[in-house]
Homo-oligomer: A and B are copies of this chain.
Amino acid sequence: MKALILVIDGLADRPLRALNGRTPLEAARRENLDSLAKEAITGILDPISPGVRAGSDTSHLAIMGYDPYEVYTGRGPYEALGMGLELEPGDIAFRCNFATVDKSLVVKDRRAGRIGDTRELQRAIKEEVKLPIAFDFASLKYRASLVLKGEGLSHEVSDIDPHVAGKKVKKPMALSKAAEKTAQILWDFTQQSNKVLTKHPRNRDRELPANILLPRGGGKYLPIESFQKRYGLRASCIGTTAIIKGIARSAGFEIIEPQDDYGSRIDQALREEDKDLVLINIKEVDEAGHDNQPEEKLKIIEQIDLAVEELRGFVRENYLVILSDHSTPCTVGDHAGDTVPVLIAGPEVRADGVESFDERSCSKGGLNRLRARHIMPILLDLMNLSGKFGA
């Protein structure tokens, strides 16, 4: 018996005027999702707890059964793992962007014109930046990851990235006494990156040169118990973003590079025959929410609905969880603290009479209202893999 967890990132939304008071999910044609709901037990989840706005990282940790309040210190380590860097316990990692600044360090573009190939720049940073401690660095397009290694470091430093264009790069502040050395090294790194990148030939003809690296989201790498050890399940993850790959990698999931269309990704999951559980993260819906594009969000949901058709056979012998990791209401343009719908389909669930997979229908479901961290214990139990507490 296998399990598949399909996370539709940022799927949940609020009633939108643009959709006559319906959410994008409610307004979408979703024949297959509804068919699955009819056979499923449904409910609503608080990703973390009521009203709390979850990141995709903290929420995925919860969906995988970990307590983000225990293990999460910042996005940095997950970005680093997702970019393929190796981390050791205590390493401090930052997400960075290649960005464009003027001579007084005012940010002109936070993504350096979405620069494509940064391999040469990556090599230059690794070779020419000299720090008093060891560091590692990786990049993919404008996104990059910096890992600081050594004694006496801390993740409690403020972001150098000012988060909006037009503002000056911020000298990092130590948020605790123990972080003073790290703040100094991080500022040193940023200034050196500016020197190395400014003179790099790759930038010669660029209107928006990638002339600085802006670290943010510092976190300390705390290894967690592997998913396989915790649950006895061999697992893999199909996701597009570094942060999701990194979260899964931190729990020992095998990482599968996703194909482009949603149907192919589901095929990829079904082909993972040596695995007990596959987690698929579909990021594209979330992006439409961030961009306040209800129609686009609806369209992507309809594409996903077509792709899940072939899961209707899967649930005869296996368990399927479909959920959203958090809401990304179009009107908010960012994650919000609403509940998200969930369905669990499979041979032995108590189907609850809910006929639609959407935010409001699922609030009437047989799971009632749970937290994301309850999903793994329920799934494990349905798969008949739980131990008994008591006699």
Q: Which of A's residues lie within 8 Å of B, judged by CB?
A: 14-15, 23, 44, 48-59, 68, 72, 74-75, 95, 217, 243, 329, 331-332, 334-338, 348-353, 359-360, 363-370, 374, 376-381, 384, 386-391
**Smallest CB separation, A158 vs chain B (Å):** 15
**Smallest CB separation, A352 vs chain B (Å):** 6
Residue contacts A-B, CB under 8 angstroms, 8 given: A50-B377, A51-B374, A52-B377, A68-B390, A332-B384, A338-B350, A350-B360, A369-B370
Q: Judging by beta carbons under 8 Å apart, are B360 and A390 in contact?
A: no
**Smallest CB separation, A41 vs chain B (Å):** 9
Q: Judging by beta carbons under 8 Å apart, are A14 and B350 in contact?
A: yes
- A13 to chain B: closest residue by CB: B350
Q: In the assembly, how many copies of this chain are there?
A: 2
Could you tell me the distance between the alpha carbons of A173 and B351 in the complex, rounded to whole angstroms?
44
Q: Judging by beta carbons under 8 Å apart, are B335 and A377 in contact?
A: no
Which single member of B243, B365, B386 contacts A53 (CB below 8 Å)? B386
Q: Judging by beta carbons under 8 Å apart, are A56 and B390 in contact?
A: yes
- A348 to chain B: closest residue by CB: B14
Residues of chain B lying within 8 A (CB to CB) of residue A243: 391
Known: A15-B351, A51-B377, A381-B51. A58 touches B336 (CB 8 A): no
Q: Judging by beta carbons under 8 Å apart, are B370 and A53 in contact?
A: no
Q: Judging by beta carbons under 8 Å apart, are B51 and A379 in contact?
A: yes
Residues of chain B lying within 8 A (CB to CB) of residue A56: 390-391
Instruction: Output the residue of A50, A336, A367, A369 with the most chain B CB within 10 A.
Output: A50
- A216 to chain B: closest residue by CB: B391
Which single member of B50, B54, B381 contacts A389 (CB below 8 Å)? B54
Q: Judging by beta carbons under 8 Å apart, are B366 and A368 in contact?
A: no
Known: A352-B360, A363-B368. A336 touches B390 (CB 8 A): no
Could you tell me the distance between the alpha carbons of A249 and B16 in the complex, rounded to whole angstroms?
38
Could you tell me the distance between the alpha carbons of A334 and B381 in the complex, rounded to whole angstroms?
11
Residues of chain B lying within 8 A (CB to CB) of residue A336: 381, 384, 386
Q: Judging by beta carbons under 8 Å apart, are B360 and A353 in contact?
A: yes
Instruction: Output the residue of A349, A377, A387, A389 with the most chain B CB within 10 A.
Output: A389
Could you tell me the distance between the alpha carbons of A217 and B50 in the complex, rounded to whole angstroms?
33
Q: Judging by beta carbons under 8 Å apart, are B390 and A75 in contact?
A: yes
Residues of chain B lying within 8 A (CB to CB) of residue A331: 348
Q: Which 9 A-B pairs have the closest CB atoms?
A: A55-B390, A51-B377, A58-B390, A337-B381, A368-B369, A50-B374, A51-B378, A75-B391, A55-B391
Q: Judging by beta carbons under 8 Å apart, are B388 and A55 in contact?
A: yes
Residues of chain B lying within 8 A (CB to CB) of residue A48: 389
Could you tell me the distance between the alpha carbons of A5 and B7 in the complex, rounded to whole angstroms?
35
**Smallest CB separation, A288 vs chain B (Å):** 18
Known: A50-B374, A51-B374, A336-B381. A57 touches B391 (CB 8 A): yes
**Smallest CB separation, A351 vs chain B (Å):** 7
Could you tell me the distance between the alpha carbons of A336 and B363 in the complex, rounded to whole angstroms?
24
- A26 to chain B: closest residue by CB: B350
Residues of chain B lying within 8 A (CB to CB) of residue A338: 350, 381
